[in-house]
Amino acid sequence: MITRFRQIEMRLMGPLTMIPIVLLLVILGTIAALPVVATILSELVADFVPPPLQHLTIVALGTAGFVGILALNPIYSIWLERKVAAHVQDRLGPMRVGWHGLLQSFADGVKLMFKEDLVPRDADRVLFGAAPMLAVASAFAAFAIVPWGVREDGTVLAVANLNIGVLYFIAITSLGALSVLMAGWGSNNKYALYGGMRAAAQMVSYEIPTAILVLVVVAQVGSLSIPDIVNAQAGGILGVGDWLIFQLFPLNLIAFVLFFICGLAETNRTPFDIPEAESELVAGFHTEYSGMRFAFFFLAEYGNMLLVSMLAALLFLGGWIGPFGSNPLLFFVKGFGLVVVQMWLRWTLPRLRVDQLMGICWKYVIPISFFLLVVTTVIKGLL
Amino acid sequence: MSAASIIERLAAHLGLEEGSFESDVEAKDPWVRVPGDKLVAAAEFLKADPELDFDTLHCVSGVDWPGDDPPAIEVVYHLTSLSRKHWIVLKTRVPRAGGSLPTLETVWKAANWHEREAYDLFGVRFEGHSDHRRILLPADWPGHPLLRDWEWPETWHKIPVKPGRQMTERAEGGQMTGVGPFD
Amino acid sequence: MAEQRSPVDGAPLVTLYDEELPPDNSYAFSSEELEEDEMILNMGPQHPSTHGVLRVELKTDGEIVKDARPHIGYLHRNFEKHAENIDYQGVIPFTDRMDYVGSMGNSLAYALTVEKLLGIGVGERVAGIRVITAELQRIASHLLAMGTYGMDIGAFTPFLLCFQQRERILDLFEWLCGARLLYNYNWVGGVSHDLPEGWTDKCRRFLDEFVPVLDEVDTLLSHNKIFIRRTADIGIITPDMAKDYALSGPNLRGSGIDWDLRRDDPYLGYENYDFNVVVATSPHGPVGSCWDRYFVRVREMYESVKIVRQALDRLPAEGDVHENVPRFVRPLAGEAYCRSEAPRGELAFYIVAENKKPIPYRVKGRSPCFVAMGLFHEITRGEMIADIIAIIGSLDIVLGEIDR
């Protein structure tokens, strides 16, 4: 009987397994061919859509594709995280559902969707409901300014090519702290409250060095627009040499490391995961959440991880510029590479205590980043 | 230091005459029994005397003797000296009904929880204890279960608590319960 | 009155259960005495890192803990009352359930006490087997302590690496006596099964492969900067405090006191083995910190490996493990108190016997975790919430033993 069941399962799972693989290939292919796709799309739109609506249609299509990729991001990221964790810990990780467990996250997603949506009796229903939405919204909205590449005619592939892109990034990510605070307060649970307060303190503190480190880059390039910052890194040896991280050695290298640390702190990842410290606060600010609302926090967390990694790749690692010319896929690989580093750190390091975390921020990271800002500006001025 | 000389020293300090107190140096664990009113003095001396230096109160146990005359609960203090590497057992008796002992918490802080446990399970009162509450059982649990004549309540807040027939009846009938190496 | 639908009258989890809950006067703090910024945080009995069902009541001011009171008893079964109703050998399975991650040590302590009461000894082979199993159990228990401690601090990976090795010890025990957790292995006067053929080779192979893994976990966790900063200056137990509260085992040695029953009051021929007593040296902070207690356990595992190796080498090839097992256990009137060095500290049993009765008159277990928990409120005052978790973990408590 069990064998029979297993056979049926195998027959069903075989073709189903192909879905995530095909999806992944489609996503990667689309990203690699993004400039071409964009050209074809805009030509198609020019042919079939009346002129007044053309701009709107292109933006809508771009946004839809983008949100689709972002919604699929956690599914692959969670799979990746579990695989990274498993191999760090000398085990296999998910292996049963699909090829090497690729369908596991889809199954979990379906499970979460069908789970009962519990709201504690004494919770503040408005805040409780709004918090996960705000979390996802802030994580996704920040992606609007992330450029994926340039077309040959110079058009930037981004949902919104703002000339003050980095400011927008700093502004939008601050909203994440608000959502966590809302979740912590609205749950009417002491552990959630502790998580919320910790998260608010942590995120607000680490926003300062993040902003200063972004300014370090801005001061060197002389532009607030992210495409300009990336384009300034083009050229050099193998297309690598002029990446900002290699300029003014080692100042920018330090800036990159600090920026990455701040990114970890802002996304609440180990060793800075004190707002959801499992062993202390049960689950921190999302203790009382279940089902889809819980999944939304996950969506936001993995979105934020990718966002921070992509920003670091754009500001310091040359974005889509690399030894093989400029390609959106290269940018994607850099972003996910940094995501893997985040995961690797998470499964290796213990957690800091809240006062130590604040101490690191105010005693070391902020002074050093101010120092970097001053020194790079002075050097740039002298050159 | 040998058990005999420990007991001798203690008796001399407390002013107990030879034969006026019970002790056994031949037992597997040499013990001495002091009256309840001399307990604190004995404990303080055992701890403070540099030759004896009993720095550790290892365990406090109660033993119920309802058949003795008068019915009493024996409270047994196992003492250890980490520095001198010797051991002694201090015993004292407290009347079964309404008796109380002075607390030894002031001498060894370890006594705190042990005495709470003795109060919880035997109902021995300790005068001067800083936190005289039950420790293992709920605050409103009926009686002190390690007394030999303690009766199982049928229910506790409507929760049936009395064990089934198997265990009590077989034990009362003198029948072995059938666990262990030899059935 | 609402209708009772439960088959068991008045089961409290039934929705229609309408009786008021028992008056909960078990709180140590009342809300009236709180100051303006203070809050009571109830940690447990269901909490990921209270190592069972410990409930800790915290009076907090923000992240600072003003006072902490542990509440125990959620696992209380009163095995001492059970023991007054069953024969001497029948108590052994109950003792297994005290410290359920160190069962070998518990039954060994009980068996030693009854043997002391009866005045019998055990053969050389039995003593050797007991040493081997006790030390393997110590390694398994310390591995659990080490892994979960890492998890308390937020490092998940050492936990799984430790559990992999612990699993191999449990496999050895399963092969030896058929059980993985509660062994009922040490009998009065012997052990239940002789070592199976090939067991010693497998045990040796385990030891050879275990030491490198332990080295790896040690480097991964013990000397990690974050880990040291989290643990090396909190939960300080001074040597005087440790003696005053009668701590024992790794907790006592973690306070810098050189005391180990295996050396200072040897049993089972421990005096013939060559091993060091691990005492905290505290390179990273004041003596008696959480890190010291943790690191004593890590070093002790190496010593245990040494002891097991020696015991395997000198184990007599022949010998009946049931040779000294008495057919009836009917001691003369008297009492015995016997302590032994269990993984978590000095586990002792106090047995009072009536003359020639098959049933003990009184059995009392002196559990090291119960004693260690007694000083919890002293070392947590003024620390932060995250430190409470670190302190609970460093004391290495098992609630089954605290509540008995």
* Rounded CA Rg of chain B: 19
Residues C184-200: tens digit of each pLDDT: 888 888 888 888 888 99
User: Nearest-CA neighbor of A176 among A141, A125, A126?
Assistant: A141
Nearest Cβ partner for C246 among B58, B133, B159: B58
User: Nearest-CA neighbor of A45 among A64, A30, A63, A58?
Assistant: A58
Amino acid making up residue A7 = Q
CB contacts of C49 in chain A (<8 Å) are: 279-280
CA distances from C48 to A276, A280, C58 (A): 12, 8, 16
pLDDT score recorded for residue B158: 67
Q: Best of C352, C356, C378 to disrupt the B interface by mutation (most B CBs within 10 Å)?
A: C352
pTM of the model: 0.85
Report the gap between the CA of C230 and the closest CA in chain A (Å): 7
pLDDT bin (cut points 50, 70, 90) of residue A268 is confident
Degrees (nearest 5) of the Cα angle C372, C88, C141? 35
Q: What is the dihedral of CA C246, B133, C338, C185, to 10 degrees?
A: -110
In percent, how much of chain C has pLDDT > 70?
93
Amino acid making up residue C44 = G
pLDDT bin (cut points 50, 70, 90) of residue C16 is very low
Token pair belonging to C231: 């643990």
CB contacts of C366 in chain B (<8 Å) are: 58-59, 61, 78
Lowest-confidence region among A167-181, A320-334, B52-66, C274-288: A320-334
Q: Residue C23 pLDDT > 60, yes or no?
A: no
Q: DSSP characters for C71-90?
A: E--TT---HHHHHTTS-TGG
The answer to whether the beta carbons of residues C372 and C402 sit under 8 Å apart is no
Residues A324-379: tens digit of each pLDDT: 777 788 888 888 899 999 888 888 888 888 888 888 889 999 999 999 999 988 88
| Residue A285 DSSP class | G
CA dist C208 and C85 (Å) reads 45
Tell me which chains share at least 3 CB pairs under 8 Å with chain A: C
- Those residues with Cβ within 8 angstroms of residue B8's Cβ, 6 or more apart along the chain or in another chain: none
Q: Under DSSP, is residue A223 helix (H, G, I), strand (E, B) or coil?
A: coil
Tell me which chains share at least 3 CB pairs under 8 Å with chain C: A, B
Nearest CA in chain B to C264: B85
Q: Under DSSP, is residue C179 helix (H, G, I), strand (E, B) or coil?
A: coil
Question: Mean pLDDT throughout A102-125?
Answer: 83
Which carries the bigger pLDDT value, residue C115 or residue C33? Answer: C115
Q: Chain-wide mean pLDDT for chain A? A: 82
- Those residues with Cβ within 8 angstroms of residue C52's Cβ, 6 or more apart along the chain or in another chain: C75, C397, C398, C399, C400
Nearest Cβ partner for C386 among A85, A89, A277: A277
Tell me which chains share at least 3 CB pairs under 8 Å with chain B: C
| CA distance between the termini of chain B | 44
The answer to whether the beta carbons of residues B173 and C82 sit under 8 Å apart is no
Q: Is B152 on the interface with C (CB under 8 A)?
A: no
Report the gap between the CA of B166 and the closest CA in chain C (Å): 12
Provide the residue-wise pLDDT of chain B in tens; the chain has 183 residues. Answer: 787 888 888 888 877 777 777 888 788 888 888 888 888 888 888 888 888 888 889 899 989 888 887 888 899 999 988 888 888 898 898 888 778 888 888 888 889 899 988 888 888 888 888 888 888 888 778 888 888 888 888 777 766 777 665 555 555 565 555 444 433
SS (H, E, C) B13-25: HHCCCCCCCCEEC
Question: Mean pLDDT throughout A311-320?
Answer: 86
pLDDT score recorded for residue A366: 92
pLDDT score recorded for residue B3: 79
Q: What are phi and psi of B75, to 5 degrees?
A: -105, 125
pLDDT score recorded for residue C399: 87
Residues C62-90: tens digit of each pLDDT: 888 888 888 888 888 888 888 888 888 88
Q: Under DSSP, is residue C64 helix (H, G, I), strand (E, B) or coil?
A: strand
Q: Residue C305 pLDDT > 90, yes or no?
A: yes
The answer to whether the beta carbons of residues C97 and C182 sit under 8 Å apart is yes
CA dist B169 and C365 (Å) reads 25
Q: Residue A3 pLDDT > 80, yes or no?
A: no
Q: Residue C6 pLDDT > 60, yes or no?
A: no
Nearest Cβ partner for C366 among B59, B138, B171: B59
pLDDT score recorded for residue B172: 59
| Residue C352 DSSP class | E
CA dist A178 and A194 (Å) reads 14
Residues counted in chain B: 183
The answer to whether the beta carbons of residues C129 and C195 sit under 8 Å apart is yes
Decide: C and A in contact? Rule: 3+ Cβ pairs under 8 Å: yes
Residues C214-245: tens digit of each pLDDT: 998 888 888 888 889 888 888 889 998 898 89
Token pair belonging to C151: 């998890």
Q: Residue A276 pLDDT > 80, yes or no?
A: no
The answer to whether the beta carbons of residues C236 and B48 sit under 8 Å apart is no
The answer to whether the beta carbons of residues C308 and C286 sit under 8 Å apart is no
Q: Chain-wide mean pLDDT for chain C? A: 85
SS (H, E, C) chain B: CCHHHHHHHHHHHHCCCCCCCCEECCCCCCEEECCHHHHHHHHHHHHHCCCCCCCEEEEEEEEEECCCCCCEEEEEEEEEECCCCEEEEEEEEEECCCCEEECCCCCCCCHHHHHHHHHHHHCCEEECCCCCCCCCCCCCCCCCCCCCCCCCCCEECCEECCCCHHHHHHHHCCCCCCCCCCC
Nearest Cβ partner for B136 among C10, C76, C371: C76
pLDDT score recorded for residue A330: 84
Amino acid making up residue B141 = W
Question: Mean pLDDT throughout C268-295?
Answer: 88
Q: Residue C9 pLDDT > 70, yes or no?
A: no
Residues A208-236: tens digit of each pLDDT: 899 999 988 888 888 888 888 888 887 77
pLDDT score recorded for residue C14: 44
pLDDT score recorded for residue B182: 39
The answer to whether the beta carbons of residues B140 and B153 sit under 8 Å apart is no
Question: Mean pLDDT throughout C347-372?
Answer: 89
CA dist B120 and B20 (Å) reads 32
Q: Residue A298 pLDDT > 80, yes or no?
A: yes
Question: Mean pLDDT throughout A237-242?
Answer: 75
Q: DSSP characters for A343-355?
A: HHHHTT--PPPHH
Question: Mean pLDDT throughout A310-331?
Answer: 83
CA dist A185 and A76 (Å) reads 31
CA dist C193 and C132 (Å) reads 14
Inter-chain contact A280–C153, Cβ cutoff 8 Å? no
The answer to whether the beta carbons of residues C230 and A352 sit under 8 Å apart is yes
pLDDT score recorded for residue C20: 53
pLDDT bin (cut points 50, 70, 90) of residue C208 is very high
Query: By a Cβ cutoff of 8 Å, what residues of chain C touch chain A?
Result: 39, 41-42, 47-49, 63, 150-157, 160-161, 164, 220-221, 224, 226-227, 229-230, 384-389
pLDDT score recorded for residue C349: 92
Q: Best of C87, C267, C375 to disrupt the B interface by mutation (most B CBs within 10 Å)?
A: C87
Question: Mean pLDDT throughout A177-193?
Answer: 87
CA dist C261 and A314 (Å) reads 63
Q: Residue C139 pLDDT > 90, yes or no?
A: yes
Report the gap between the CA of B61 and the closest CA in chain C (Å): 7
Token pair belonging to C281: 């040296």
Q: Best of C156, C160, C209, C213 to disrupt the A interface by mutation (most A CBs within 10 Å)?
A: C156
pLDDT score recorded for residue A1: 53
Token pair belonging to C20: 């008021």
pLDDT bin (cut points 50, 70, 90) of residue C143 is very high
Question: Is C59 buried (19+), middle (13-18) or exposed (0-12) by CB count in 10 A?
Answer: buried
pLDDT score recorded for residue C304: 92
Element (H, E) at A229: helix A226-231
* Rounded CA Rg of chain C: 22
